Amino acid sequence: MLIDLAKLYGLSGQVAIVTGGAQGMGEAIARFLAGMGATIAIADVKFEKAEQVAAAIRAEGGKATAYDVDMSKEDQVVALVAGVRASEGRIDILVNNAGWQDRRYIEDTTSEFWDHIMNTNLRGPAMASREVVKVMRADRTKGRIVNISSNSALHATAPSLYAYSTSKAGVAGLTRATALETAKDGIRVNAICPGNTTTPGQMTATGPDFPPEQIAAFMPPIGRTGTPEDIASAVLYLATDASAFVTGQTLVVDGGMLTC
């Protein structure tokens, strides 16, 4: 019997929260999941852009709603999860995509800068995962959580990413810890580690510019930078039954950079 790929990857009737879904990788992820039938809650501090993405998905026959959320604020994260559960009746998928890649060299890293990066990139996903796990356990939902980490969590990629790389390494650790605690509930938790991905406007860094020779070194062996769709494809795999036996893993999607 031929495999029914539509069933394997289908998300009809399921509800997904995508944080940082207003643009870049988050927008692509929201579109991919909506394209397979999921109802999408797009959470972003850039609310007007999130509304535009949600409207575009609805115009194309999908289901999506925008939520105005700063993922560094715990009360807003708690309200997001409660609001989506109340509105949609369930939560099946959480994609912790929201992040900030501001840059500072070690000597220029203030405690305020450090806290901002950690609160957005690590504390936000941790709080969102905590709240979603509560809902999934209460509803006995065999849900999926996909965290967006970075290949810089596994290999130092550039100077001035002192705080960012640390936060993304924390996301990888968060993934494994959450997966261990929730496996018995049928909740699967995995992470994706993107490499050099062209995402205009997604993470607007204000730190030092990289020198030209270092930018050239960022080109992956595969010969091109990644696209938001490259990352969204990997998220779709981890968010569906196609990855039913996968949990606690970090999938590197970087065009071969870590082979160097």
Q: Which of 20, 59, 10, 13 is nearest to 236 (CA)?
A: 10
User: Which residue, chain included where needed, has tokens 């769709």?
Assistant: 229
Catalytic (active site) residue 164: yes
Given a contact cutoff of 8 angstroms between Cβ atoms, the answer to whether 176 and 130 are in contact is no
Interior CA angle at 172 toward 168 and 176, to 5°?
160
- Of 9, 67, 105, 164, which is the active-site residue? 164
Among positive and negative, which fits the CA dihedral 88, 28, 71, 130?
positive
Q: Find where tokens 């204000």 sit.
A: 206
The Cα–Cα gap between 127 and 178 comes to 11
Q: Which of 63, 8, 66, 7 is closest to 35 using CA atoms?
A: 63
Catalytic residue set: 164
